Structure formats: C-alpha cells, structure tokens
Chains A and B, each alone.
Chain A
Amino acid sequence: MATMQINQEYIQPKYLAIWKKVRRNLLTTIGFFVVVLFLLSAVVGPLVVPYDYAEQNIEQRLQSPSVDHIFGTDEFGRDVFSRVVMGSRSVCVIAGTGAALAVIFGLVIGLIAGYWGGLLDDVIMRLMEVMMSIPGLLLAMLVLFSLGSSFYSVILVVGFMYIPVVTRVVRSVVLDIKTRAFIEAAKLRGESIRYILMREVLPNVLPHLAVEASMRFVYAIFMVASLGFLGLGVQPPTPDWGFMVSEARPFYNNAPWIIFFPAASIAILVVGVSFVSDGLRKMLLPGGVSSD
C-alpha cells in the first residue's frame, strides 16, 4: 500500500510538481511575473517603445502623463516611458552579467577552498574577508573613478564585488557536503577528484547557488542603480534608472513623474526578484515548503 503511494508521486512529471509548488506561493508567482515583464521589456523594448529614448523635444518638456506620453516627459521633452523601458535593458544586462560573474567565480573559488581546505582555504578566505570589509559602494566608486566608468567596467566591478559572498556560501555548503558518507564512498571506490567535485559535490551545491544567484541579482540591481544615481553608471545618453532619478531631482516639485517612474521601476524589480528568490529558497532548500 505504501509502495503504491510512492510510485504515484514518482510518476508525476517533475515540472508539474515544481509548478504546483510555485503556484502555492502567491508572492513567488507575482515576483515571477514581474521579473518576466521586466526581462521582456529589456529584450523587446526597442520594438515597442513609442519614441526614441534620446529624442529631445524642448516644446514638449515636463509634460505630465497623457495618452501621448503615458509616463510624461522629462526636462528635455524626452518620453519617460521609452526611457524607463530602455533603462531596464542596461539594468538587467549589467546586474545580470555582474551577478553571473560573481556566481561563476564564487562557485569555482568556493569549491576549491571548501574541498581542499587547509592553508589554501585559509589564504582564500582571509582575502575574501578583506574584500568584504570594504563597503561595497565605496569600493565601486573608487575603482570606477580611477578606471573610468563604462558598460564593461561597471559589470566587472559589480561582479567582483559579490565574489566573496558567493564564495562563502558555496564554501560552507561544500564543507558540509564533503564530510557526507557518499563522498567518502566515492573516494573509497577510487573516483577522480574531478568526478567527485563535478558529479557528487556540485549537484548538491546548485540549489544553494540558485538561491544565492537570485539574491545577488537583487543586490546588483540596487548597486547599478546607486552607481547610476552617483553618475558612475552607464553614461548618457543611454538611459539609466539611477541616473534618471538623480537628474530629475530639481524637478521633483513640478514634475514628480520623472522621478517616480524610474524609482518605482527599481523598487518593483528589486521586490519582484526578492520574491522569486524567496520562492526558490523555499522550493529548493530543505526546511522550505513541504507537506510531507
């Protein structure tokens, strides 16, 4: 009787089971749609925006939201909607690539430090601690001031900045996994280190890494926006939410929409990704949503 029960669960397709879990959590669903919406706007943005994001039109400046300009226009008469949509591109690409860089390097370094341990681990982790002890924004500002700000340098800085955090997470998981008996059994039957790392350890790290990656994405979005706000992000005329907010400050009183829409976009995207991140955590990591 008990056996039949198990079998039924077993034949249920995996994606169906996962979808059920996602749907169970409303916030995750909302977050999921928000993220999809923003990614979509980043990808197909240029095809749907009604105006060129850089097109200035002094006659139309500081217009409040209307049918022509649903988010209004800014101090140069540029269409805010077009700029917000196009701004999602740079945010998603920079934050996404930055987070991805951090995750990849953090994974490799964390695996090595955690698995080999000893002196190597000590050296690596002390280095990481040093990096982490410098406030992120300060570090980014210093580097960008001296290197000069460009699309690539922002990505590099964001990626570099989050390597230590990811490393620490990966390392702690590896430290736990490597003492499990199945790793020792693999050593006893003579598996290569590569096999043990890639096939025995890695699959167990991945769920943690996925959650961590989504968290890093959240932070990276924020970081990119902050850098933009300080004028260290992508350089104009490419629209950047952070920079848009900072540019719009003088007009806060008579044209609040210029500041509102980019700021709201940042907030909604950040919250949306955190919802997804939360959902991932509950779904993938033990102690999360479970009925059994």
Chain B
Amino acid sequence: MTEMYRSQKSIDTDPILDVRNLTVTYRTGQGLVYTVRDVSLQIAAGEIYGLVGESGSGKSTLARAIVRYLADNGQINSGSIKLGNTDLLTLPMSKMQKIWGSRITMVHQDPAAAVNPSITIGEQIAEVARLHLHMSSSQAREKALEMLRKMRMPDPESVAKRYAHQLSGGMLQRVVIAIALTTNPELLIMDEPTTSLDVTTEAAILDLVRELLTEYNMAVLFITHNLGVVANICNRVGVMYAGEIMEEGTVRQVFNHKLHPYTRGLLGCLPKVTNDKRNVSLSAIPGFIPRMNHLPSGCIFGPRCKLVEDDCQAERPSQVEAEAGHFTACRRWEALQSNPDLLMDVQQVRDMDEHEEGPLVFTASNIKKYFDVTASGFDSLFKQSGTEIKAVDDVSVGVRGGFTLGVVGESGCGKTTFARCIAGLEEATSGKMELEGQLLPYTVAKRTSAQKKRIQMVFQNPDASLNPHYTIGDSVSRPFVLMGDLSKEEIQMRVKELFSAVNLPEDYINRLPHELSGGEKQRIAIARAMASEPTMILCDEPLSSLDVSVQAALINLLIKLQDSSKISYLFISHDLAAVRYISDWVAVMYLGRICEIGSSEDVFLPPYHPYTEALLSAIPVPDPDVQQERIRLEGNVPSPIDLPSGCRFHTRCPRKIGEICEAQEPPWQDVSDHHQICCHITLDELRTMQSEVIVGQADTLREVR
C-alpha cells in the first residue's frame, strides 16, 4: 500500500488544499484499523470538490483528518496536508486551532447543533467577525447583517435578532454558512450539509452555495452520499470506497464515462425520475463493504466486482490517469472505456404486465387526523379543546390489488400519519376505510384478527423494528405461532421459505438483530410483514436510512415479492425517484392534503400541479447533462396549526394566480381517467405554461413509451 504513488496531477493553478498519500488509522479493540488509506486530493480556488461515498467509506474521517480534528483514538500515520503554503501536519496544535474558524471553516449536517441556542443569530456572526477579523462591535454588527443579506435571507435585520429555535432548518443552515463565510476562508468543508433538509430547501441551499462561490474564491470540499447533489453542484468529484478513492475527475468525466466498476454500480443502483419498474430493473451491488480490519488483498473492490480477475487480487491497483484529470483505480479501465455500457447493461427491460386495473382492495375516504396539542392526561379533564394540528385533512385514496400507491411529500406533509391511520396505530378523527369491501375500524385493537393479518407495515428505522432480545428467526416465526394451527416443523419450513424469499441465508435464523446490517434488518422486517400473507403492506420510508446500493436491492426485493404474491404496497417516501420507480399510482401530498394523484407516468409529465412541478425541479438528478427547469419555492412550510386559507400551497406557490387562491379551495380537475390535479388554474393553461421539468436523461420515458 505504501509503495503506491499516483502520477502527478495536472492542475493548472496551485491548489489551495493539497492532500497527498494520507493514511489515517484508529486504535480499536480489534487492533489498528486503517480507515483512510493513501488518499490524495487537490482542490483549487473556486472549485467545489465532491467527495461521495456510502457509509463506511471513510469520507468523514478524511475531512476530520484534514482539519486534524480526529477522535482521541485516531491518528494520521503518513502523508501530507497543505493549505496554501502552510503544512498543516507539522503545525503545532495551538496554531492549528487558529486556522479553524478562520482559514478553514466547516458546515455540518445538523445546523441546530452548530448554532448556540441562547445567543441571537446576529450576535453569533458578529462574534466571529470580532474574533477573527478584529472588527469593532459596530463594524461586526454591520458585517453580520451584510452576511445575512448575502445568504438571501428575507428581512436580515429581524433574523439577526432571532434565536436558533425561531428559524427553520433551511434558514439555520444559511446562518451556519454565513458564519462559515464571514472570515472569507480559503477552504470550506461541507459535510452532508443538505442531508437533513427537504428537497426544495436543499435545492435553494445548493443554488446559494453555487452563487456564493463566484464571489468567494475559496476551495470547497463537499462531502455527501448523494450522487444527485454532486452532479448538481460540484466541479470535480472523488468516489470513495472503503477508505480509498476509486475514481476521480470532473463531474462530466465521472458521470458520463465512469471508469470504475464501483461508480458504475452506484449509478446503476439509482432509480431515476424518468424510469419505472416496468422499463428498467435496478442493479444492486452484491456483497458488503469490507470490514476495515479485514481488508481484502489486492483491489479493495475485488470481492464485489463483476470484472474481477486473478491479477486484481494479487496487487492493489494504482491510480491511472485515463484521460486528462480523470483518474481511476481499476486495472481494467480500458475495458470499461471501450464499452460504456459494460456493467450498466443489467438495466434491462423488465417483462411486466401492462396496466390492467386490478380490483380495489383498499379504499380510504375523507380520512382526517387532527392532533390535539394541549389536552392530554389531567389537562383533558379541564380543557375542552386545545389547538389542533391537522396532520391529515380529508385524504381519499384507493389501492388496487397487486399495485403500488406511492405517497410523496416533504416532511410534515402528513404522509406518515396517514399510513399510521390506515395501520390503526393512530386513531383517525373521521373518514372511512374499507378493506376488501369490509369496513375497517380505526384502531388496530378494534380490528378482527383476520383484518389485522391483512394489513402489515414496514417501518422507517430498521434498528427499531426488531426486538433486540430475540433472534431474527424468532421474530419472523412469531406471526406463524400466532396463527395457532401450525406445528413446529411447519413453522420452521415457512420461516425458511421467507428467508429465501428475502434473500437471506438460512443460517441467519439464530442471529440477533445487532449482528445484522441495516439492509438485512429491513429484509427481516419485510419477511415478518409477509408472514401473515397480507393484502397490503404499508412501507413507511423503508429506504431512507439505507445506502443507495442497499436501497436498490431492497426495491428489487419489494418488486419481486409483489410480482410473485400480488401484494399491494402503500409506499411512502420523500424520494421522488424511488416513488416514481416503484409505484404504479402516485399521490403528492402537501400540508395534510393530496394535491395531485394519478398513474405514475402521468404525474411525472405535464400538466403538473404547481407543487409537483416545484418538487420535480428541486430533486438533484444524478446526471450532469440533464436540463432541469428551475423553480424554487419561497418561504417555509406553514404550520399545520395555522393552515393557509383557500389553497394550502398559496403562500409558496410560484404560479399563484391571485386572490382566488387565497379565498377559495381549488377544485379537482380530471386530466384523464387516472390523473387528477387540485388547482385553480385550468388544465389548458397549465399545459401551456409548463414544459417537462426534467429533460435530457438518456432513457427518458418518452423513448421507452
């Protein structure tokens, strides 16, 4: 490993950040762990360098090593880090600390943790100016306002006087960026800065970062797991895997030519907004990221690579410059270069039934769920009614047998509450639910055992969905035990069948949940839900905590199970691409209401509801060549306690036509038999003002159709 030096890179200007052959280790109970191995990267001024990788890739460790802010058991073993002409590794810690916050600044995932809750926003920015720029108090205050203005904060004077808890996540992240830029740093490190934000907010923040870069001539290290974000904002990108950089180059080079099997795998995993399960199947990367204390010999990606040869395992391949500025750590890059479709060809056309409408197995009509915020316990005796949160307000959907209804929306739109009402975990306030023609009581306690079996749920957090005290075999067999009429052997058999259906080896049966990865736990959760042979499974953000390569495998699994057992899904997600891919029908939710519903092809083509249009325009598409309409939403999502009158979207709607939107609830309009939009603008007008939001992806829907 130590012998490996990459050829000198051709960077026209001197890089601001120059990291060479950096190796970082952690001392752990299992010995020394090489978390980052021999990584080199350079970032020039005015450049955004995207570092992408899945969890365990070592990307955050790398960032921490660059600022020498490792955990106590971490250590930089070899390599060099230079910031301009300063050698950061030889600097005494006291000098290093002066660099933090002035020459190098950081923006983290959770803005709330980065801002002091008890000091006003303006004071905090001013403090930085006083400390690092040695400004007087009044100058510093002026500087703070100027920074807020640059962040395109509406009404910076009032924001400066507010405290952290009075700002939304997106606003807060702008504040953190403002603090980071106050000192005019040479290097800005952004570690998953948009991961905790909604997609519309994310888009706005990315726009902001892009614009600011033209003004501040700094180097940006942008760490993310989201390939779409990288394609959107970065100039160059390094793909990291298990502690090493697999491929590096400009965004176009890496996304369009993809000279490493891992990059191809990652991009093949991603559902695209323009694809669905009928025309393309996702290619998951088999296997797991290696444990850092059990690294394979030779190519680190070897055990999971479809192109692996004996030579790959003999020696660790060194980085090759395949074209100017485009590096790959794959020995067989020439094979990849000559065949751009190699490894991508698994995206084959699926052979699926054409749309034949199955019978309606489940209908929910006018479901409402109001939470009473004030009254609970003792209080409920004295207070009659408190303030209400209208989490779900008059939602009606139908689910057909063997089909998937996707529900998309940003956080707080009520999609999860809706699913929990259907499951009976929340008691709906009013409305009617019918399952296979039978009226369904509101709470699970009141449902018959036959009804309980027919609706199951897969939860968001795989870590919480299995009882840590039971083996996963116990967890999966419990539904069979409950049926009461199966012998031990039969149960054993059924459990084994389920294990093979979700592609888990049988010898996992005796394992405890903590011995499984997140993706495996989610498979078990699916297996358990399948056990009672339900009519419908409610999937509540089942993918959101998983890495993309794991997501792909899980999506494939859900589709396979649907194919074989004609099960229906209600698939809830904030990820439009995943919803588009897996769903036959899609409902778009905003503030407790559905604003557009239809077959998934139709919803993702114009005419759109203005909100759907904005969502589509905000999603980061993992393809730098894609042209995306740029529609950005202003302001924050209103509070569900104090809902806007008329159309709920009117406070942010870019297409608002006037008073009528504020005064009257918009009507439902039928675009076709299976596509409805709830808006005051007539369909013809929508058609003329809208064009397709996402254009230019290689396999657009039109072509497939």
Contact A189 B469 (CB under 8 A): no
* Highest count of chain B CB atoms <10 Å: which of A10, A121, A190, A291: A190
A119 to B378, CA, bound (A): 6
Residues 150 to 190 of chain A near chain B (Cβ within 8 Å): 180-182, 184-185, 187-190
What is the interface of chain A mostly: helix, strand, loop, or mixed? helix
Q: In the complex, which residues of chain B have a beta carbon less than 8 angstroms from the beta carbon of A185?
A: 457, 459, 465, 525, 528-529
Q: In the complex, which residues of chain A have a beta carbon less than 8 angstroms from the beta carbon of B291?
A: 1-2, 5
Q: In the complex, which residues of chain A have a beta carbon less than 8 angstroms from the beta carbon of B469?
A: 203-204
B309 interfacial by beta-carbon distance below 8 Å: no
Contact A188 B459 (CB under 8 A): no
Contact B456 A189 (CB under 8 A): yes
Contact A182 B467 (CB under 8 A): yes
Residues 519 to 541 of chain B near chain A (Cβ within 8 Å): 525, 528-529, 532
Contact B468 A204 (CB under 8 A): yes
Question: Shortest distance in angstroms between A8's beta carbon and chain B's nearest beta carbon?
Answer: 11
Known A1-B291, A5-B291: A189·B482 in contact at CB below 8 Å: yes
A122 to B378, CA, bound (A): 6
B380 interfacial by beta-carbon distance below 8 Å: yes
0/1 string, A1-30, CB within 8 A of B gives 1: 110011001100000000000000000000
* Highest count of chain B CB atoms <10 Å: which of A1, A119, A185: A185
Which of B186-194, B267-275, B447-455, B603-611 forms contacts with chain A?
Answer: B447-455
A200 interfacial by beta-carbon distance below 8 Å: yes
Known A181-B464, A187-B444, A292-B29: A119·B377 in contact at CB below 8 Å: yes
Q: In the complex, which residues of chain A have a beta carbon less than 8 angstroms from the beta carbon of B453?
A: 189-190
A27 to B182, CA, bound (A): 50
Residues 453 to 494 of chain B near chain A (Cβ within 8 Å): 453, 455-457, 459-461, 464-469, 475, 478-479, 482
Contact A181 B456 (CB under 8 A): no
A55 interfacial by beta-carbon distance below 8 Å: no
Contact A118 B376 (CB under 8 A): yes
A122 to B290, CA, bound (A): 50
Question: Shortest distance in angstroms between B29's beta carbon and chain A's nearest beta carbon?
Answer: 2
Contact B377 A182 (CB under 8 A): no
0/1 string, B674-691, CB within 8 A of A gives 1: 000000000000000000
Q: In the complex, which residues of chain B have a beta carbon less than 8 angstroms from the beta carbon of A117?
A: 377
- B482's partner among A180, A191, A203, A291 (CB-CB below 8 A) is A191
B423 interfacial by beta-carbon distance below 8 Å: yes
Question: Shortest distance in angstroms between B105's beta carbon and chain A's nearest beta carbon?
Answer: 31
Known A188-B424, A188-B456, A292-B29: A181·B465 in contact at CB below 8 Å: yes
Question: Shortest distance in angstroms between A199's beta carbon and chain B's nearest beta carbon?
Answer: 8
Q: In the complex, which residues of chain B have a beta carbon less than 8 angstroms from the beta carbon of A118?
A: 376-377
- B423's partner among A9, A188, A190 (CB-CB below 8 A) is A188
- B296's partner among A1, A119, A126, A181 (CB-CB below 8 A) is A1
0/1 string, A33-46, CB within 8 A of B gives 1: 00000000000000
Q: In the complex, which residues of chain B have a beta carbon less than 8 angstroms from the beta carbon of A6?
A: 511, 515
A291 to B452, CA, bound (A): 42
Q: In the complex, which residues of chain B have a beta carbon less than 8 angstroms from the beta carbon of A203?
A: 467, 469
A188 to B525, CA, bound (A): 13
- B377's partner among A5, A121, A187 (CB-CB below 8 A) is A121
Known A10-B511, A180-B464, A203-B469: A189·B380 in contact at CB below 8 Å: no
Contact A200 B467 (CB under 8 A): yes
B668 interfacial by beta-carbon distance below 8 Å: no
Known A181-B459, A185-B465, A189-B478: A291·B294 in contact at CB below 8 Å: no
B28 interfacial by beta-carbon distance below 8 Å: yes
A292 to B452, CA, bound (A): 39
Q: In the complex, which residues of chain B have a beta carbon less than 8 angstroms from the beta carbon of A180?
A: 464-465
Known A6-B515, A188-B457, A189-B452: A291·B28 in contact at CB below 8 Å: yes
0/1 string, B436-450, CB within 8 A of A gives 1: 000000001100010
Interface residues on B, range: 35 or more
Known A2-B291, A2-B294, A189-B452: A182·B464 in contact at CB below 8 Å: yes
Q: In the complex, which residues of chain B have a beta carbon less than 8 angstroms from the beta carbon of A182?
A: 464-467, 475
* Highest count of chain A CB atoms <10 Å: which of B380, B465, B532: B465
0/1 string, A137-152, CB within 8 A of B gives 1: 0000000000000000
Contact B467 A204 (CB under 8 A): yes
Contact A184 B425 (CB under 8 A): yes
A5 to B424, CA, bound (A): 41
Question: Shortest distance in angstroms between B652's beta carbon and chain A's nearest beta carbon?
Answer: 32
Known A119-B378, A119-B381, A184-B457: A189·B468 in contact at CB below 8 Å: no
Contact B468 A119 (CB under 8 A): no
Residues 69 to 128 of chain A near chain B (Cβ within 8 Å): 117-119, 121-123, 126
* Closest Cβ neighbor of A119 among chain B residues: B377
Contact A189 B532 (CB under 8 A): yes
Residues 421 to 435 of chain B near chain A (Cβ within 8 Å): 423-425
0/1 string, A199-234, CB within 8 A of B gives 1: 010011000000000000000000000000000000
- A181's partner among B28, B452, B461 (CB-CB below 8 A) is B461
A15 to B652, CA, bound (A): 61
* Closest Cβ neighbor of A2 among chain B residues: B291
* Closest Cβ neighbor of A289 among chain B residues: B29
Residues 347 to 389 of chain B near chain A (Cβ within 8 Å): 376-378, 380-381
B118 interfacial by beta-carbon distance below 8 Å: no
A5 to B529, CA, bound (A): 29
B672 interfacial by beta-carbon distance below 8 Å: no
Q: In the complex, which residues of chain A have a beta carbon less than 8 angstroms from the beta carbon of B377?
A: 117-119, 121-122
* Highest count of chain B CB atoms <10 Å: which of A118, A182, A203: A182
Contact A189 B479 (CB under 8 A): yes
B10 interfacial by beta-carbon distance below 8 Å: no
Question: Shortest distance in angstroms between B522's beta carbon and chain A's nearest beta carbon?
Answer: 11
B288 interfacial by beta-carbon distance below 8 Å: yes
Contact B515 A188 (CB under 8 A): no
Q: In the complex, which residues of chain B have a beta carbon less than 8 angstroms from the beta carbon of A290?
A: 29
* Closest Cβ neighbor of A291 among chain B residues: B29
Q: In the complex, which residues of chain A have a beta carbon less than 8 angstroms from the beta carbon of B288?
A: 2
* Closest Cβ neighbor of B379 among chain A residues: A122
A182 to B472, CA, bound (A): 12
Question: Shortest distance in angstroms between B495's beta carbon and chain A's nearest beta carbon?
Answer: 14
A33 to B405, CA, bound (A): 62
Q: In the complex, which residues of chain A have a beta carbon less than 8 angstroms from the beta carbon of B475?
A: 182
Q: In the complex, which residues of chain A have a beta carbon less than 8 angstroms from the beta carbon of B290?
A: 1-2
Question: Shortest distance in angstroms between B435's beta carbon and chain A's nearest beta carbon?
Answer: 13
Question: Shortest distance in angstroms between B318's beta carbon and chain A's nearest beta carbon?
Answer: 24
Contact B294 A190 (CB under 8 A): no
Question: Shortest distance in angstroms between B627's beta carbon and chain A's nearest beta carbon?
Answer: 41
Q: In the complex, which residues of chain A have a beta carbon less than 8 angstroms from the beta carbon of B461?
A: 181
Q: In the complex, which residues of chain B have a beta carbon less than 8 angstroms from the beta carbon of A291?
A: 28-30
Q: Can you give 16 A-B contacts (C-beta < 8 A)?
A: A1-B296, A2-B290, A10-B515, A180-B464, A181-B460, A181-B461, A184-B423, A184-B459, A187-B445, A188-B444, A188-B456, A190-B444, A191-B482, A290-B29, A291-B29, A291-B30
Given A6-B515, A185-B465, A291-B30, 14 more contacts at CB 8 Å? A119-B380, A180-B465, A181-B525, A182-B467, A184-B423, A185-B457, A185-B525, A187-B425, A188-B425, A188-B456, A189-B478, A203-B469, A204-B468, A292-B30
Top 6 closest pairs, chain A to chain B, by CB: A291-B29, A122-B377, A181-B459, A181-B465, A203-B469, A190-B452
Residues of B that sit less than 8 Å from A by CB: 28-30, 288, 290-291, 294, 296, 303, 376-378, 380-381, 423-425, 444-445, 449, 452-453, 455-457, 459-461, 464-469, 475, 478-479, 482, 510-511, 515, 525, 528-529, 532
